[in-house]
Amino acid sequence: MRLRIASYNVHGCVGTDGRRDVQRIASVLRKLDADVIALQEVDFPEDDENATPADILAGLAGFHAVGAPVQRNGLPYGNALLTRLPILATRRICLAYPDCEPRTALEALLETSGRPLRVVATHLGLRPAERRFQVQRILEHVAGDEQSVTVLLGDFNEWFLVGRPLRWLHARFGRGPAVRTFPSRFPLFALDRIWVHPRQALQRFSAHSDDEARYASDHLPVVAQLEL
């Protein structure tokens, strides 16, 4: 079974030209042709922090959605997951670190024709100590699960290629590929990543970098092809 998995920091749907354009983000997502998409920096309806990102979904078809927003400046904001696969279960992993913006990871168990697909989508913090804490929390959470195919993806904000968070993640999942995704118009840093366990399930990995993607957000989306 082949699946396409993607991650995209949509920057509140505000592009590098300063315009907020939800339909432009939806257009980029359609081009990815992915079965599962992790989104970061999604705005949620102010009156319902449990709502799905309906404005983005309005431009797509065939996707289920689940959100895991936190409160930022009094408004719900954060991670979401779009999937064409049936959702069996979801839960949040708290990654809050003292004196920092609240963070979470969103875990979803998805139904496939074979083994369950476990997806953990996240957006890590800006401080090195914060990221070390958050990666340890995620690794504790996924430790010992050898039954599911596990995908860890998102914006990891890790600028240091030899930093401990990346070394820990490579040790658990196998060395994951890296492509430059930020800033989107002239990418210099590989902040957006996808790891898969078992490693041999990951067949291809790339950034989507057409003209529309370079302006739709300050990050480029990344796409992986899995063979289960």
Task: Give the integer Cα–Cα distance in Å for 6 and 37.
Answer: 5
Listed residue (149, 144, 148) closest to 203, CA to CA: 149
Per-residue model confidence (pLDDT) at position 49: 58
pLDDT tens digits, one per residue of 56-80: 887 888 899 999 888 887 788 899 9
Domain count, the chain: 1
Give the residue from 35, 3, 40 showing the smallest Cα distance to 25.
40
Q: What pLDDT does residue 120 have?
A: 97
154 sits in the region (left: phi over 0; alpha: psi -120 to 50; else beta) called left
Range of the domain at 98: 2-227
Question: Rg of the chain over CA atoms, in angstroms?
Answer: 16
Across the range 2-30, mean pLDDT stands at 96
Query: Does residue 162 have a pLDDT over 90?
Result: no
The amino acid sitting at 212 is E
Distances (CA, A) of 91 to 63, 105, 106: 19, 9, 6
Single pTM value for the model: 0.94
**CATH for 91:** 3.60.10.10
Please compute the mean of the pLDDT values over residues 211-215 and round it to a whole number. 97
Residues 6+ apart with CB under 8 A from 44: 51, 53, 67, 69, 75, 76, 77, 78
pLDDT(187) > 80: yes
pLDDT at 161 over 90: no
User: Is a pLDDT exceeding 70 seen at residue 5?
Assistant: yes
Per-residue model confidence (pLDDT) at position 48: 64
Please classify residue 227 by burial: count the beta carbons closer than 10 Å to its beta carbon, then call 0-12 exposed, 13-18 middle and 19+ buried: exposed
Burial of 45 (0-12, 13-18, 19+ CB in 10 A): middle
93 or 228: which carries more pLDDT confidence? 93
pLDDT of residue 122: 97
